[in-house]
Each structure stands twice: as structure tokens, then as C-alpha cells.
Amino acid sequence: MAFGRFPRPTQAKPFSDINVTPLVDVMLVLLVIFILTAPLLTSAIRLDLPQAQAAQAGEAPEALTLSLNQAQELFLNDKPTDLAALPDALRRLALQKPQLEVQLRVDQTVPYGQVLVLMGVAQQAGLSRIGFVTAPAPGAAAAR
């Protein structure tokens, strides 16, 4: 008696091609990450700062204050002055103390161009150290 056999399905051939879709997906994700992080890496400023054996904290440099209020009134060390007399007064102070720091106290409503004029006058007088004085933000002391 002959028994019938069911036909055997042919074996699938081994898949010899590489599926590159996951590889392309990973490479695109990496490319996006590098595009986003590259500008962040180049914006860092590298400084080679001098080192000191015994630096004392809290040592403030000698300073003069240059104030300009909302009414465009100019004060040098809390004494009223005008823009015409300012260069001579700053030159005299710069000759006496060349390492003197100018601390600018300017009202926030004063246009930035006038602040630049004051900075230029101070620099032409020989004072290159300029600092900006600000008021502490509300709640800044509570955050410490």
C-alpha cells in the first residue's frame, strides 16, 4: 500500500543582505545630536589665569564712582560735575593712581549710548578698569 506524503515546503534560503535601515536611523540621530551640541562646545572661552600663592579674598581695589541719574546729572565720587570737566578730573585721578577702578552707577533708564560715552571718556583718561554697579535682585538674598 502506498502511503501518500505531503509535499515538504522548501527551506527558506539564508538572508545574506544587511538591513541598513536601523543603521541609517542611528546615524541620523547621532548627526542631529552633534549638530545641536557643536555650537555649545565652541562657545566656551578658555583662559590661562595667573596663579598666586596667597590670594586674599575680600580685597577691593581702589575705586572711584561715576554716577549718571535719570535726569542726566553726572556725579564723580558723589560730587556733581559736567561732561566737559570730566576728562580733566579723570586724568588727574589716573595720574595719581593708575590702577584705579571706575565703578559706573547708571540709572536703568539712561540710554546705552550715554554709558558708552562715559566709558570712552574714562578709557581716554587712562583708566582701563571699569566695573558696573548693580542693585541685587529681589529675593536674591533669600536664595542663598
- pLDDT tens digits in sequence order for the chain, 144 residues long: 556 677 777 777 777 788 889 999 999 999 999 998 887 776 544 434 444 444 444 455 688 888 888 788 888 888 889 889 999 999 998 898 878 888 888 887 888 898 899 999 999 988 888 888 776 656 555 444
d(CA 63, CA 131): 9
Domains, the chain, ordered by start: 63-132 (3.30.420.270)
pLDDT value of residue 4: 67
Nearest to 77 by CA among 91, 90, 95: 90
At a CB cut-off of 8 Å and minimum separation 6, what does 110 contact? 68, 69, 70, 72
- CA-to-CA distance for 139 and 7, rounded, in angstroms? 85
Q: How far apart are CA 123 and CA 24, in angstroms?
A: 57
Predicted structure pTM score: 0.53
